[in-house]
Structure formats: structure tokens, C-alpha cells
Amino acid sequence: MSREYFGTDGIRGRVGQAPMTVDFIMKLGWAAGKVLSQSSHGQVVIGKDTRISGYMFESALEAGLAAAGLDVMLLGPMPTPAIAYITQSQRASAGIVISASHNPYHDDGVKFFNGDGFKLPDETEAEIEAVLEQSLVMVEPEQIGKATRMDDAKGRYVEFCKSSIDFHTSLRGMKLVVDCANGATYHIAPAVFRELGAEVIEVGTSPNGMNINHQVGALHPESMRTHVLENGADMGIAFDGDGDRVMMMDAHGEVKNGDQLLFIIARARLAGGQLKGGVVGTVMSNLGFEHALQEADIPFVRAAVGDRHVMEKLVQNDWQLGGESSGHIICLDKTTTGDGIIASLQVLDALIRNKQTLTEACSEMVVYPQTMINVPISKPLDLNRSPQIQDALQAAEKELAQSGRVLLRPSGTEPLIRVMVEGRDASQVEDLAARLAKTVTDAAQA
């Protein structure tokens, strides 16, 4: 379904440039209020990450929603999955997150949850866009919405996270480096792990509005590695700016991505008789992950990139476990969306039950070499209509034969074409990726 503003994960862009302007975001709040709540004075929950622009857009959304006759519950800085949880627990009409996830501070975005805590379907986003074309008409003065703040949001979510693992599971004796990317988990994640008994070394827990994701967090594991090795930690756990994705690191400083973490969770669920159906990955999931699941007799299907697409496949198959190599992991028996803290707790719980280190658990899955190159583009590029790109793609696939994969796709959040090559031979993979990236660059500049 064609949409002008909504991408793969809400609306996102550079602050001050369309659509991330104050006037647009205010009207977005009004339009969303008109669509998402059929009753006057329904309630919408709003949370945000730690970007400086969050305060501005929070006020704009509040004004738009109030003009549509809806009450607003403000949570302040909270992880994206926390908004989903509190929206559901408060029986709110909808939840709104102000965040650009893993992007730099100068970007921001808005994404929505329905009253059940799930991302909006394409059809609902299209309805909101249709209402955006109308003139903003306020409700009558006596119908204007009110705004309140939830002072205990942090405590509620900390307890929810802790309840996702067995009451008797303790992290006592574990030394963990916890990197919060100077983002929304900065005051949540350390508390969760400490209250479960772990010794926590904090990284990226001093947000200033402009340092979110800057050389810290899931996309920048170098800082976590330094602290893990210097402190002799058992593991590192790193989140992105809004806390819906996680990467972990073993005691040797080796990063373990979403595929590996998902494999650990799936194997533990299988062993405990708790795995319902199979696992949903994406077109980016590593071939080694797929083969390891096959060897364990765990069904596996691929979805398009994006946790909303993973969710669609989970619902279609009536399964509970899915995710992406980027660290978005969905455990539908625990929560309604990708949740970095809850996913990491499932991994820790599995390690404790199996008396394994992270290194040992990950050794049961062979990761095939994979190279991804992001090619910047200044205008839309139709990959299917470029003969030179299609020729290069077919040549690469022929060279890999059955021992690898090639994937070219536009990013849903940034002006990039992602070039991914995967196979058994690392040097071949790197060479093919470089050649394909050059072909895409040439086509983009033509």
C-alpha cells in the first residue's frame, strides 16, 4: 500500500525538515487521534527516547491529540517496548513513541502502537495519512483533551521485565557490562539486571540530548568491548537508542548478533518443551542460523526486513519466536513487540539453565561470513529496472552457486541501498559485495 509519510517503522527524518517539523507533528497527533480512538476522551500514551528534539515533538503531539479530544499520558524517556506494554496495561486507545531508534540525534521519528500493544497495520497508517490531507478542526472547548504524567512508569516496566523470566532465576555472581547507547534504556536496563543480582558496569547511561547512539550502543560495540575486557566481565549487553534491539558480547569481546541470540532462545524453548511452532527470521538472517535450526528440527521461515513483517509471519503461523540479525527479537509469549531487555533476559535465563557461557552456547551455530555495504543514494533507485544491476546480481548468484546468498534492498529508514553477500568463503563474499556496491553506486549516479 502506497504511503507518503510512513516507512518501515513509523515516520522518520531529520529534525526541522519535512516531515519532522513541529507543525506537521502537531497535525499528525490530531490525525492519529481521529483514527485511533472512536470515543471522545480516549487516552493515548506518549513516550520518547533521549533526543533533545523529543521535548518539542512531545508537546506538538500533545497539542494535536488534545485538539482531537483525546487525553494524553506522558511517560517521559522510556524504551519503545515499554510504551507498548504500558499502552496495553493502561487500556489506552494507542501508544506513541518519539524516537529515531539507532539514528543520530539530529534525526527523530514517530511510531505508533494500537491499544493491544502491536504496531499499526499498513491500512491504519494509510487512514492516518488520508486524515492528514484534511483541515485540522478542533473539538469543542469542553471536549479538549487533558495531559497527565505517569510518575512510576520506570518501576512498572522494570518489574515487567523481571517477570519475563522464572522467579527463581538469579544473576548473582555475574558481572555484566550494560551499554544503553545514551538512550531510552539508560535508567531502566541497569536497574533490571542489578535487581536480579548481577554486578553491573554501566556504559552509555549519561544522555545529554545529543549523544544518543554516538560511539556507544548496539551499533558501536567497541566501547562495550573495552569495558568487558578491562573489567573481566562475563558478558556485555548493548541496546540501541530506543531499546527495541540488543547485541551481546562474550567474555572474549566477540559480538553475538540477533541470529545467534535467537538461536539460543529457540534451543532453550525446544529443550524445555516451550517452543510453539518454529522461528521467523528475515531475508537478512544468516544461512548458518537457518541450517542450525534445521539440524535441530525447528521450522524456519523468512520475512521481509522489519519487525512488523516478522510479526505478520508469527501471527500467520501462530508462532511465538522471531527476530532479525540486527537484534530485534520478538518473544510473543512475553511481550507484543521487539524488546532488547526482555530478549537479553531470555538468553541469560537459557545460559543459566544449561550451565553454559555465551561462547559455548553460540558455538553450536556456525555463522557464515556475511558482508553488507550501505550505498548512499540521492534519489530513489529502482533496482529491478536497472539492467546493469540485474546483470551483476545474476553473475554474483551464479558464482556463489548453492553456497551463499545475495540481497540488494533499499533501506526503509535511510537513503541507502543495502548490498548483502553471504557465503562460506569470506574472501569471495567481500569481493562480490565490493563489486556489487560499485555497480549500485554507478547506477545511482547515472
Catalytic residue among 101, 325, 326, 386: 101
In a domain, residue 107? The reply is yes
Calpha distance 57→109 (Å, rounded): 9
Question: What order do you get walking across the sheet with 235-239 strand by strand?
Answer: 199-203, 175-179, 235-239, 246-249, 255-256
pLDDT at 38: 66
Name the percent of the chain lying above pLDDT 70: 98
Structural domain ending residue among the three candidates 198, 220, 251: 251
In a domain, residue 147? The reply is yes
Q: What range does the domain containing 332 cover?
A: 256-339
Instruction: Specify whether 29 is located in the same domain as 86.
Output: yes
Task: Provide CB contacts within 8 A for 244, sequence distance 6+.
Answer: 79, 80, 81, 101, 307, 328, 337, 338, 339, 340
In a domain, residue 412? The reply is yes
- Counting the structural domains of the chain, the total is 4
Which CATH number characterizes residue 280's domain? Answer: 3.40.120.10
Q: What's the average model confidence in pLDDT over 81-97?
A: 97
52 against 123, higher pLDDT: 52
Instruction: Specify whether 125 is located in the same domain as 28.
Output: yes
Angle at Cα 445 formed by Cα 443 and Cα 446, nearest 5°?
A: 65
Q: Assess whether pLDDT exceeds 70 at residue 2.
A: no
Instruction: Specify whether 20 is located in the same domain as 107.
Output: yes
Calpha distance 316→324 (Å, rounded): 18
Predicted model pTM: 0.90
In a domain, residue 365? The reply is no
Annotation marks residue 344 as catalytic: no
Task: Provide CB contacts within 8 A for 391, sequence distance 6+.
Answer: none
Give the pairing type, strands 11-14 and 370-376: unpaired
Angle at Cα 78 formed by Cα 342 and Cα 89, nearest 5°?
A: 70
- State the average pLDDT for the chain: 95
Instruction: Specify whether 389 is located in the same domain as 431.
Output: yes
Q: How confident is the model at residue 96 (pLDDT cuts 50, 70, 90)?
A: very high
Instruction: Specify whether 118 is located in the same domain as 58.
Output: yes
pLDDT at 330: 98
Report the 10 Å Cβ neighbour count for 206.
12
Instruction: Specify whether 202 is located in the same domain as 288.
Output: no
Instruction: Specify whether 169 is located in the same domain as 300.
Output: no
Reading the block at residue 347, the C-alpha cell is 538468553
Structural domain ending residue among the three candidates 151, 172, 201: 151
In a domain, residue 354? The reply is no
Q: Assess whether pLDDT exceeds 60 at residue 405.
A: yes
Instruction: Specify whether 244 is located in the same domain as 263.
Output: no
Rounded CA Rg of the chain:
22
Which residue matches cell numbers 538512550? 183
In a domain, residue 3? The reply is no
Q: How confident is the model at residue 401 (pLDDT cuts 50, 70, 90)?
A: confident
Instruction: Specify whether 192 is located in the same domain as 80.
Output: no
